[in-house]
A and B are shown apart, each in its own frame.
Chain A
Amino acid sequence: MKKYIDTGKKDTRSGFGAGLAELGRTNPNVVALCADLIGSLKMDEFIKENPERFFQVGIAEANMMGVAAGLTIGGKIPFTGTFANFSTGRVYDQIRQSIAYSGKNVKICASHAGITLGEDGATHQILEDIGLMKMLPGMTVINPCDYNQTKAATIAIAEHNGPVYLRFGRPAVANFTPEDQKFEIGKALQLTEGTDVTIIATGHLVWEALSAAEALEAKGISAEVINIHTIKPLDDEAILASVAKTGCVVTCEEHNFLGGLGESVSRVLVQNNPVPQEFVATNDTFGESGTPAQLMEKYGLNNKAIEEAVIKVMKRK
Chain B
Amino acid sequence: MPDTQQLNDLVIQVRRDILRMVHKVNSGHPGGSLGCTEFFVALYNEIMELNDEFDMDGIGEDLFFLSNGHISPVYYSVLARKGYFPIDELNTFRLIDSRLQGHPTTHEGLPGIRIASGSLGQGMSVALGAAEAKKLNNDNHIVYSLHGDGELQEGQNWEAIMYASAKKVDNIIATVDLNGKQIDGATDDVLPMGSVKAKFEAFGWDVLEIKEGNNLEAVITGLKEAKTRTGKGKPVCILLHTEMGNGVDFMMHTHAWHGKAPNDEQLAIALGQNPETLGDY
Contact = CB atoms under 8 A, between A and B. Distances in A.
A98 interface: yes
Given A31-B136, A73-B57, A62 B125 contact: yes
B63 A73 contact: yes
Contacts of A94: 122, 125, 156
27 contacts: A58-B163, A60-B159, A63-B125, A63-B159, A66-B122, A66-B123, A66-B125, A68-B129, A69-B125, A70-B126, A70-B130, A70-B133, A71-B132, A72-B129, A73-B63, A74-B57, A74-B58, A76-B133, A76-B136, A94-B122, A97-B119, A98-B122, A98-B126, A102-B105, A102-B107, A102-B116, A104-B115
A187 interface: no
Nearest to A98: B122
Given A62-B155, A74-B139, A67 B125 contact: yes
A55 interface: yes
B128 A66 contact: yes
A103 interface: yes
Interface of B: 56-59, 63, 65, 105-107, 114-119, 121-134, 136-137, 139, 155-156, 159-160, 162-163, 166-167
Contacts of A60: 159, 162-163
Contact of B57 (A31, A65, A75): A75
Contact of B128 (A53, A67, A72, A76): A67
B107 A103 contact: yes
A71 B56 CA distance: 12
B186 to A, nearest CB: 26
B119 A73 contact: no
Nearest to A96: B119
B106 to A, nearest CB: 5
Contact of B130 (A55, A73, A93, A96): A73
A74 B56 CA distance: 8
Contacts, number: 120
Given A97-B116, A98-B125, 14 more contacts: A57-B163, A60-B163, A67-B132, A67-B163, A70-B129, A70-B132, A72-B129, A73-B114, A74-B130, A75-B133, A76-B136, A78-B129, A97-B119, A101-B116
Contact of A102 (B106, B132, B167): B106
Contact of B160 (A63, A69, A75, A96): A63
Interface in A13-66: 31, 52-53, 55, 57-58, 60, 62-66
B56 A98 contact: no
Nearest to A61: B159
Contact of B132 (A55, A65, A96, A98): A55
Interface string A75-103: 11010000000000000011011100111
A277 to B, nearest CB: 35
A74 B106 CA distance: 15
Given A62-B156, A63-B163, A74 B125 contact: no
Query: Size band of the A side of the interface?
Result: 20 to 34
A97 B137 contact: no
Contacts of A103: 106-107
Contact of A70 (B121, B125, B139): B125
Contact of A66 (B136, B137, B156, B166): B156
A72 B133 CA distance: 8
Nearest to B129: A70
Contact of A74 (B65, B115, B134): B134
B169 to A, nearest CB: 10
A31 B119 CA distance: 26
A91 to B, nearest CB: 9
Contact of A75 (B63, B137, B167): B137
Contact of B136 (A52, A64, A68): A52
Contacts of B63: 73
Contacts of B162: 58, 60
Contacts of A97: 116-119, 122
B20 to A, nearest CB: 28
A57 B167 CA distance: 9
Nearest to A106: B129
Contacts of B163: 57-58, 60, 63, 67
Contacts of A57: 159, 163
A314 B156 CA distance: 51
Given A65-B125, A76-B136, A98 B160 contact: no
Contacts of B105: 101-102
A68 to B, nearest CB: 6
Contacts of B132: 55, 67, 70-71
Nearest to B131: A70
A75 B130 CA distance: 10
